[in-house]
Amino acid sequence: MDTEKRILTRRIFLKTTGIAAMGLTLAGCRKKEAEDANKYTIGYSQFWGTSPFLIAMTNGAKKAAEEWNAKGVGVELIVTNGGDMDASRQVADCEDLFAQSVDGLLIFPGDSTLLSEPVKNLYNKNDIPVVITDIGLESGKSVSFIITDNYLGGKIAAELLVKNLPKGAKVITFQHAPGNANARERQKGFEDTAAKLGFQVLPEKLCKLSLEDGKRLMEDTLTSIHDIACVFFINQIVAEGAASALESAGNKTTKLVSFDIDATSLQMVKEGKILGLVVQDPYLMGYEGMNQMLTYLTGGTPKPQIDIAPKLCTMDNASEFDNDSQVQQ
């Protein structure tokens, strides 16, 4: 079933069970009784929740919740997984969390457009606070937005090439998430900077977020562009697949630079199979996301946006990332 049909089916379900109609009055029903004033149920809608990145992010939120519990503020966290990588399923998860009368929604959106719908039409309309961690939404309001400076990440990835490639060398982006605001910023940061530094930026190639597609597309690219000098990736999984293709082809000249890290990609950096990784801090994102949510719910003023600077992992400093929360998953 395609995305639009799944969302339509979900809407029909909500209407027939009375949940959508009930949403019109839920805002009033959510007022806490005096004895529950310091108890909050927070939903965390995740996309691809089995990845090391998202596990680290969830663990950060859990840690913050534990600290608030220790201070006498009761926190129950309900985490949903969005069907792993199904954006329409994540829409349904957000609707389910709303039906469970959560006091606030933390969200890592898998699609910046699709996930705007439940945020606007359910949470914003009923004055339920939303905190976004990492990926922005096309529309809808949040009380706080915790994000990596993705453009900066793309920029430092391109700058890494200066000492490793000659001017005029051909570079390209393998893009798996054109509907994702963060992915677009990473690509833009890389391509803008690469062009300014004198590299030849080729049109992007689209792929799926998988090892297999990274390997296949790298093989196809080596055939069609014999002198490709560097590939930039939005996620390390695709880069790992591409590295396998280069190894099979005996290619030791094409460089790979990627966003994100796990144990496998870190080892590839140490072995020289990946030139560099732009590393985010998802644990801090989840931690700050929960803190800003509870600050708002307890009457404080949350920070509207928290920008977290990425770090660059290369062979020279790879050992510094051995204890990274994503590597340890």
CATH of 30-147+281-308, one of 3.40.50.2300, 3.40.50.720, 3.40.50.1980, 1.50.10.20: 3.40.50.2300
Rounded Cα gap, residues 154 and 159, in angstroms: 9
Contact 178, 184 (CB under 8 A): yes
- Domain extents for the chain? 30-147+281-308, 150-280+313-321
Q: Could you read off the pLDDT of 100-145 as tens digits, one per residue?
A: 999 999 999 988 899 999 999 999 999 999 999 998 899 999 999 9
Which of the four pLDDT bands, split at 50, 70 and 90, describes residue 28? very low
Reported pTM? 0.81
Checking if the pLDDT of 34 tops 50, the result is: no
Query: In the CATH hierarchy, which top-level class contains the domain 150-280+313-321?
Result: alpha beta
The count of residues in the chain is 329
Q: Please tell me if the domain spanning 30-147+281-308 has the same topology as the one spanning 150-280+313-321.
A: yes
What is the rounded average pLDDT for all residues in the chain? 89
- 182 alpha-carbon distance from chain centroid: 7
pLDDT score, position 32? 53
Q: What is the dihedral of CA 93, 94, 96, 101, to 10 degrees?
A: 150
Q: Which two tokens stand for residue 80?
A: 């949903």
Distance from C-alpha of 111 to C-alpha of 85, rounded to nearest angstrom: 10
User: Do the Cβ atoms of 132 and 109 come closer than 8 Å?
Assistant: yes
Contact indicator for 197, 167 with CB cutoff of 8 Å: yes
